[in-house]
Chains A and B, each alone.
Chain A
């Protein structure tokens, strides 16, 4: 094992390297570009001797290329951001429908217009129903480690669904942190080579048609099998995180990463680097005797409804923050948390906070104001359900809430 100070994009590139990915196709886009460049360097320097690196002319072609590669039984990886991911959207459905265990790192970036290259989860949100597993990372070590976990789960014969893991633009992609880089031998111990059933992959001596036309009497069954695999993946993702702990000595809380939630009255939920800021605030407020906790949504698809139900039984109010947009009725995290609880006896106030949209800084003072506001909500009930927090109006966070 080597410890290096690297940025999030290097963590993703090293993740692909230690997983001994066989085919990488990618197209550069800010803020993902460094991933493509680092991997190109690894391949050119002979550090990834088993890897074929394929350059194409767009993200749509990237995913088409990854699909073909994965269909030959090769371990396949790519990375993109924002508009690149949106351009891939059509092919994302093909990857999941064809049941190909591709791993994609999405560097979360806002969608235009207005044009922006900064952190925002909206690009990931829009892929919710593509049939990809979706994991949001909080730090650079988690990006590297989750790449390994992602292949581990995706390649299981009864899962065979692709994984999209997300890292916040600039807060992780270009920020340097110390990261343990595991030895390839240790990764091999955890992640065996990908050996799919030969009858399910492209064989030039026995050509087959993939993703063929089916008629209405059988289409629904194939979609049901995807839903079934996605539900099964919940336990596999939990297990993969536990097994990872046993081999590498690190884990990330499974699907819902709970911090000081055991006796908490108010819990904040949300994803990405905002969770790191919230962790600091939890420590500060705990020192002041306030019962606050944080439940980081690590896995968004499959959604951890069981964890949310178990958590909500013991808390008195939940605030859900989203660094991404939802138009019409709340954000996707808020909607999923609410939906998870409707068929239970839990009836606690839940409030949605949109914040940090388009890479605006979310500071401890903002998180603290939200916790304080949620204590008010706990006592007096909801003043409003959906709050766009931090709009330019000359108020301090405390004045605003």
Chain B
């Protein structure tokens, strides 16, 4: 540990939070039914943790390293194409 005299006056982090995996405490994970998905990207818009990737014309992808399993995407999906599945 550094001595307090050598510490800065307030913590400033140079490590992006992308590199810290914060999704490991989820209980349920989202699973996409690719046949039902119409690529409207409403799930991407509503995700409170920016954990859904949506490239134009592609199916949405879940970033499970950062998804907390809140289920907002499944709730908002107009086609019920996302199912929350217990993560083992």
**C-alpha gap A99/B8 in the complex (Å):** 11
Q: Give the nearest-CB partner of A217 in chain B.
A: B1
Q: Are B10 and A221 in contact (CB under 8 A)?
A: no
Q: Tell whether B86 is near chain A: CB-to-CB under 8 Å.
A: no
Taking a contact as CB atoms under 8 Å apart, the answer to whether A210 and B7 are in contact is no
Quick check: B4 and A209 within 8 Å, CB to CB?
no
Contacts of A199 in B (CB 8 A): 12
B57 interface residue (CB < 8 Å to A) = no
Q: Which of B10, B13, B15 contacts A222 (CB 8 A)?
A: B10
Chain A 202-227, CB-CB to B under 8 Å as 1, else 0, gives: 00000111111010011001101100
Least Cβ–Cβ distance between B14 and chain A, in angstroms? 6
Secondary structure of the B contact surface, majority rule = loop
Interface string of A181-214 (1 = CB under 8 A from B): 0000000000000000001100000011111101
- What is the bound-complex CA distance between A200 and B12, given in angstroms? 7
> Which one of B1, B4, B12 contacts A212 once the chains associate, using CB atoms below 8 Å?
B12
Residues of A within 8 A of B16 (CB): 207, 209
Minimum CB distance partner of B16 in chain A: A207
Which A residues are CB-close (under 8 A) to B15? 209
In the bound assembly, the distance between CA atoms of A339 and B25 in angstroms comes to 48
Residues on B with C-beta less than 8 A from A13 are: none
Question: For A208, what are the chain B residues with a Cβ–Cβ distance below 8 Å?
Answer: 12-14
A-B residue pairs in contact (CB < 8 Å), sample of 20: A98-B10, A160-B9, A200-B8, A207-B16, A208-B12, A208-B13, A209-B12, A209-B14, A209-B17, A210-B10, A212-B13, A218-B1, A221-B4, A221-B7, A222-B7, A222-B10, A222-B11, A224-B4, A225-B4, A225-B10
